[in-house]
Amino acid sequence: MLTLFVLLATVTGLVQAQQTIGGAVEKETLLCFYAKSKAFIFPGNDNEANVVNTSPMVAEQQIIEQPEQELQPPREGIAEKNAMVVTLQEQPSSWYVGFGGGLSFGRTTFASFAMDDTHPGFNLGVLGGYKINKLLSAEVSLDYTCMKLGTYDCCQNLWLGKDGNRYFAPLTGVMSYKYSELTSTTNLMGLGAHLNIDLLSLMNKNSNWSAVVSPAIYGVYSNAVVKQLGAKVRTASTIHFGGGLDLGLGYAITPKIGLRLSTGINYLTGAIDALPREEHKITYVWNSSLKLIYKL
């Protein structure tokens, strides 16, 4: 009986141990399934999936890392700021310089539109200015002008004496020269101050075109040589003061480079042709030029 009781207890213990092991395995299997079921799959863009792990350690790591990503500055904002800095650096200064040249005509005792022919001259110049605003700019110019002047029809029978006076007929014993045989080569060096008014800016402030009206004052040095058939007869140098008005049409090719076509008449004091002033007491110079403008 004792032996039978021992065998029965041994069998019972083996069965309980097997049940315990089987329960542990089933519990572990359930835990693994539960852990896998805690992963959720959400559809993303372009057939991709974003896996969200709800494990406590992973969730804590995501919470810690999220503020660092938000603190990073957006790349688009940096690009816009860099573009603004580049744009500001490329904007030209209000100061500008330029140079140009063109045709010139003049009138005093003799004139470019003479009795026998029209004698066009030329001009060369440099300038510098400051753009005050869209409407106004101040400018200083230095110009050189060379013209050949001849006599009018009304004066072709007059005579120039060696003493520099005008006569209606040659004097006995005085060297005289007939006006119709004379020409005057006049050289002018002028320093001018201009106020440019862009009338087009009143209607369209963003246009590349400009329509400029420029009142100006001048100080001019003249040197003239009077010749008879190529032989020098008389020379004279004089300082003049004057003023005038120029009209200009400009176009900005680039933000820094532009062209301006201008024309204007400048009235001067005194004669510029080394001839005596009698009937013709108006002196003016008509300059037309094309100028290249460069903004600094």
82-115 pLDDT per residue, tens: 655 444 455 678 999 999 999 999 999 999 999 8
* Mean pLDDT on 33-44: 44
pLDDT at 2: 47
DSSP H helix total and E strand total for the chain: 3, 13
CA distance 271 to 239: 10
The model's pTM: 0.69
Taking a C-beta distance cutoff of 8 angstroms, is the pair 121, 112 a contact? Answer: yes
Strand arrangement, sheet containing 176-178: 166-167, 159-161, 176-178
Determine how many CB atoms are found less than 10 A away from the CB of residue 211. Answer: 16
* Mean pLDDT on 255-265: 97
Closest by Cα among 230, 238, 236, 226 to 159: 226
